[in-house]
């Protein structure tokens, strides 16, 4: 080891974590009448951070009622430009409190501060700014001259991007004139509860945003509540399927953002060094807890050895460890359950004959950790080539011709994202047109922008979030067509 970095920890003194939290209903924190509270921990140390309320059916009902009242009495009646002002105010407070949000996100989730500070929080603010601008321009959204809000939205989000997923859900819903009840994931509730304080600070009318905490049962009670008009869910395909069944035949409008098994395709004329950076960002960003992660590398056979040896060299420089250290590249796995899933699928990969490799790396003793891992000699029938691992594990396959690359890339029940690396613009466009994926990145990966719609085909879900398209999920067009 020629040299090493000194520790550069971000101070956590900026965050003020309370010992326990209630539910945020009707603009106030209230005690849950439902189940027993649970604890949220830091996955990097297993330290208990706070005790969290478990919303039961009567709490869910109170939250939906508060959202309904705010919808009919305040939010729907406000001039659209006034709604926009609240969203701009929230966006500015997010920027002002960005360090606090980033530190708390890294503590509760395990993601590196470099990412929460430079990616999650700035993108969260950008989504609020972007949709704030739409609030008084809905007639130009392409949904008819005077599109109407749907009513109360039930929103359930996962643990991988707690703040960003919340922004994707809440900003367009509010801009379009809906009110919301949002449930964060059970392992990462703290930043949603901090966002509730931000809503208070912004003087958002009570009941426009309600945050209820709990596990799957709370989520189910929320999405099955008869008085919600819209369900927005991000999470596993399995739960998404259950929700689609329970919402079928009701008046509820539904968007689902589910899993993925994206192909990242490297052609022999790609700039190899840049492609290697793109591969690393594609699968090791956020510990691979990314629905659109580039978890299947498809590399053209003639450059496979070169790409794989550069990739190995690059992986030896990744720093795994304390999420609050500013030099950390890969943080903690979000939960013991998720670590168990990653270990199990990786063991199956070895058993089925793929070759496993990780760089040497010292993992902390406490907490949940998994080293950056690549599998070579993967065949399309292997479980690790088909199942979403949702961890820092890359399956590498090779191809000879562009047609073979497309066939292998599309050989998945998912269809959320893909990446194409080539020097030829014409080849990128031709391949992108043939890929059954909602987002196709060209010579880059995992890039997000509030103006750009995001969403999947097939088992990756339906509906789009982001951009003008993201408004359609929260509006009923009045020109006789469904939005």
Out of Mn ion, ligand NAD, none, which partner does residue 242 contact, by CB within 5 to 8 A per kind?
ligand NAD
Query: CB-based burial of residue 6 (10 Å sphere; 0-12 exposed, 13-18 middle, 19+ buried)?
Result: exposed
Question: Which range in 117-125, 179-187, 272-280, 315-323 contacts ligand NAD by CB under 6 A?
Answer: 179-187
> At which residue do the structure tokens 């992986």 appear?
315
CB 56 to Mn ion: min, Å: 21
Binding ligand NAD by CB under 6 A: which of 26, 84, 158, 288? Answer: 158
Measured distance CA(182)–CA(155) in Å, rounded: 5
CB of 232 to ligand NAD, least distance (A): 11
> What is the distance between the alpha carbons of residues 234 and 456, in angstroms, rounded to a whole number?
12
Q: Kindly tell me which residue out of 45, 106, 178, 187 binds Mn ion, with binding defined by CB under 5 A.
A: 187
Helices (H), 316-461: 336-351, 383-386, 402-410, 425-434
Distance separating alpha carbons of residues 385 and 366, to the nearest angstrom: 30
Nearest-CB residue for ligand NAD: 219
Rounded CA separation 135/368 (Å): 42
When asked if residue 228 is in the footprint of ligand NAD (CB under 6 A), the reply is: no
Binders of ligand NAD in range 326-365 (CB under 6 A)? 338, 341
Contact 456, 462 (CB under 8 A): yes
- By CB under 6 A, which span of 153-161, 274-282, 302-310, 473-481 interacts with ligand NAD? 153-161
Give me the least distance between CB of 170 and ligand NAD, in Å please: 15
What is the closest distance, in whole angstroms, from the C-beta atom of residue 214 to ligand NAD in the complex? 7
Helices 98-109, 162-175: axis angle to 10 degrees equals 130
Among 189, 206, 219, 321, binds ligand NAD (CB under 6 A): 219
- Choosing from 52, 91, 163, 185, the residue that interacts with ligand NAD (CB under 6 A) is 185
Decide whether 67 or 276 has the Cβ nearer to ligand NAD.
67
Among 127, 169, 220, 225, binds ligand NAD (CB under 6 A): 220
Region of 464 please: left (phi>0), alpha (psi -120 to 50) or beta: beta
Closer CB to Mn ion, residue 213 or residue 422? 213
Which of these segments, 121-129, 182-190, 298-306, 377-385, binds Mn ion (CB under 5 A)?
Answer: 182-190
> Smallest distance from the beta carbon of 49 to Mn ion, in angstroms?
6
Per DSSP bridges, beta strands 179-183 and 20-21 are unpaired
> Should residue 108 be labelled a site residue for Mn ion when binding is judged by CB under 5 A?
yes
Helix then strand then coil, % of the chain, to nearest 5? 40, 20, 40
Nearest-angstrom CA–CA distance, 437 and 415: 4
Q: Which is nearer to ligand NAD, 100 or 459 (CB)?
A: 459
40 binds, among ligand NAD, Mn ion, none (CB under 5 to 8 A by kind): Mn ion
Name the residues annotated as catalytic: 257, 291
Residue 41 sits at φ, ψ, to 5 deg, of: -120, 165
Residue 373 near residue 394 (C-beta atoms within 8 A): yes
Minimum CB separation from Mn ion for residue 216, in Å?
16
The rounded distance, in Å, linking the Cα atoms of 79 and 333 is 44
Site for Mn ion in 359-418 (CB under 5 A): none
Dihedral over Cα of 413, 390, 160, 24: its sign: positive
Q: How far apart are CA 124 and CA 128, in angstroms?
A: 7
Question: How many residues lie near ligand NAD (CB under 6 A)?
Answer: 27
Q: What are phi and psi of 393, to 5 degrees?
A: -130, 125
Binds ligand NAD (CB under 6 A): choice among 388, 395, 406, 465: 388
- Is residue 244 close enough to count as binding ligand NAD by CB under 6 A? no
**What gap in Å lies between CA 315 and CA 358, rounded to an integer?**
8
Interface residue with Mn ion, options 10, 25, 32, 40 (CB under 5 A): 40
Nearer to Mn ion, 40 or 116 (CB): 40
Beta carbon nearer to ligand NAD, 218 or 376: 218
Quick one: 216 or 271, whose CB is closer to ligand NAD?
216
191 vs 398 by CB, closer to ligand NAD: 191
E strands, 184-313, in order: 209-211, 230-234, 253-257, 263-266, 296-300
Burial of 436 (0-12, 13-18, 19+ CB in 10 A): middle
* Size (the chain), residues: 483
Q: Which of 124, 239, 308, 431 binds ligand NAD (CB under 6 A)?
A: 239
Q: Which position has the token pair 């979403």?
A: 388
| Residue 446 near ligand NAD by CB under 6 A | no
Q: Which residue ranges make up the site for ligand NAD (CB under 6 A)?
A: 156-160, 183, 185-186, 215-216, 219-220, 223, 234-236, 239, 242-243, 257-259, 291, 338, 341, 388, 390
Q: Which residue ranges make up the site for Mn ion (CB under 5 A)?
A: 40, 108, 187
């Amino acid at each position: 080891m020629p040299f090493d970095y000194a520790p550069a920890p971000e101070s956590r003194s900026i965050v003020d974590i309370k010992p326990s939290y209630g539910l945020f209903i009707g603009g106030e924190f209230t005690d849950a009448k439902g189940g027993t509270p649970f604890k949220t921990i830091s996955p990097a140390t297993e330290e208990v951070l706070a005790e969290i309320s478990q919303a039961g059916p009567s709490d869910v009902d109170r939250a939906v009622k508060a959202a309904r009242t705010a919808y009919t009495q305040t939010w729907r009646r406000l001039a659209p430009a006034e709604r926009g002002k609240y969203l701009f105010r929230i966006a500015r407070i997010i920027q002002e409190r960005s360090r606090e949000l980033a530190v708390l996100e890294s503590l509760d989730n395990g993601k590196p501060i470099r990412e929460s500070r430079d990616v999650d929080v700035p993108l969260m603010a950008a989504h609020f700014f972007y949709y704030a601008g739409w609030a008084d321009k809905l007639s130009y959204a392409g949904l008819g001259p005077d599109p109407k809000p749907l009513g109360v939205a039930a929103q359930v989000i996962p643990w991988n991007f707690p703040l960003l997923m919340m922004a994707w859900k809440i900003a367009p819903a509010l801009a379009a004139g809906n009110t919301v009840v949002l449930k964060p994931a059970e392992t990462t509730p703290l930043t949603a509860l901090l966002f509730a304080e931000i809503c208070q600070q912004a003087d958002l009318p009570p009941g426009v945003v309600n945050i209820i905490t709990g596990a799957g049962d709370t989520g189910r009670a929320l999405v099955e509540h008869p008085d919600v008009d819209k369900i927005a869910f991000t999470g596993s395909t399995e739960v998404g399927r259950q929700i689609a069944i329970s919402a079928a035949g009701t008046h509820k409008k539904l968007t689902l953002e589910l899993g993925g098994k994206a192909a990242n395709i490297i052609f022999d004329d790609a700039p190899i060094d840049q492609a290697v950076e793109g591969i690393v960002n594609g699968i090791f960003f956020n510990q691979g807890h990314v629905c659109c992660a580039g978890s299947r590398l498809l590399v053209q056979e003639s450059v496979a050895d070169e790409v794989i040896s550069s990739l190995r060299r690059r992986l030896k420089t990744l720093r795994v460890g304390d999420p609050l250290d500013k030099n950390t590249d890969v943080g903690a796995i979000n939960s013991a359950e998720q670590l168990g899933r990653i270990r199990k699928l990786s063991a199956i990969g070895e058993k089925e004959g793929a070759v496993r490799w990780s760089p040497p790396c010292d993992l902390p003793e406490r907490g949940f950790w998994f080293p950056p891992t690549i599998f070579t000699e993967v065949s399309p029938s292997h479980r690790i080539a088909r199942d979403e691992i949702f961890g820092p594990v890359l399956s590498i396959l090779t191809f000879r011709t562009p047609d073979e690359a497309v066939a292998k890339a599309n050989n998945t029940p998912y269809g959320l994202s893909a990446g194409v690396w080539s020097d030829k613009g014409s080849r990128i466009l031709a391949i992108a047109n043939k890929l059954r994926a909602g987002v196709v990145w060209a010579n880059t990966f995992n890039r997000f922008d509030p103006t750009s719609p995001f969403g999947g085909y097939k088992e990756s879900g339906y509906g789009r979030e982001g951009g003008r398209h993201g408004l359609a999920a929260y509006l009923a067009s009045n020109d006789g067509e469904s939005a």
